[in-house]
Amino acid sequence: MSKLITLLAKNRRPTQPRAFEMSGEDTTIYIYDAIVADDDTAEWWGGVSAQTLVPQIRNIKGGTVNLRINSPGGDVFAAQAIVAAIRDTGAKVVAHIDGVAASAATVIASAADEVVMSDGAMYMIHCAWTVAIGNSEDLTATAALLDKTDGVIAGQYAKRSGKAVDDMKALMSAETWFTAEEAVEIGLADRIAENAPRAQASWDLSAYANAPKPSASAGADPQIAAITNEHRERQQQRLRMLNRINPQ
């Protein structure tokens, strides 16, 4: 079973989440679920549908857009469609990572003018997934498409962080989970919010290889639990090496 389908199935919600609200010149967009391409998928699996959200975004003309993100990820092409619509608004865009920004959700966050993370939030980047069937030529073509997709995403992370594309690809290949402090250190986020509320929804992140394990003190928010000591040390060594190779 595809890891993407597993992610959607394990995080299916019975109703579609609130996604959009306006107040004066400010618009708030909630990416508080998995990201999916169309309304049919959202109806079946749950999730924030780009088919519905993108036309709403394209009606925004200037002002400030606040992206509130607590998402386990989803369809990267749907995320790219949301990114394109957000950029076309001409608005100032601030991404607030309230809980988890994983996978495709980080693609949306990376398009913001400013990325603000709540204390205890997490940010995860990895290589693209897909489902493929066919002969060797079909599968080779699919692999090439995945490589191109990873290159595009790595370029977006590199543009935001100031790091080299190859360095971002290496972190993607390792499925790297960043704490708020680590995301700021590497340049994927700009600052940690003070006294920001934490998102209460928890996600099943078992589709991911390196998802942090809930700790005894995680309470109602296992998705923002501390990384295990062993994982944290491996990640910090990788980040220290990256900063030595390509300092900001």
Structure-token pair, residue 188: 């994927």
Cβ contact 243:237 at 8 Å: no
Q: Which of 192, 180, 176, 190 is nearest to 241 (CA)?
A: 176
Structure-token pair, residue 210: 């390196």
The radius of gyration of the chain from alpha carbons, rounded to an integer in Å, stands at: 17
Distances (CA, A) of 220 to 8, 24, 93, 143, 178: 21, 34, 29, 39, 20
Q: Which residue has the tokens 């988890």?
A: 100
Distances (CA, A) of 239 to 180, 185, 247: 13, 9, 11
Helix axis angle, 165-173 to 229-245, nearest 10°: 170
Residue 55 CB-half CA count within 13 A: 6
Cβ contact 224:71 at 8 Å: no
Please tell me whether residue 217 adopts helix, strand or coil conformation.
coil
Q: Which of 6, 1, 2 is nearest to 203 (CA)?
A: 6
Q: What is the pLDDT of residues 130-183, one digit of tens each?
A: 778 889 998 889 899 999 999 999 999 999 999 999 999 999 999 999 999 999
Least confident residue range of 1-15, 34-48, 167-181: 1-15
pLDDT at 43 over 70: yes
pLDDT winner (highest mean) among 7-16, 19-28, 62-71: 62-71
Confidence band for 217, pLDDT divided at 50, 70 and 90: very low
Structure-token pair, residue 244: 């030595």
Report the pLDDT value the prediction gives residue 178, as an integer from 0 to 100: 95
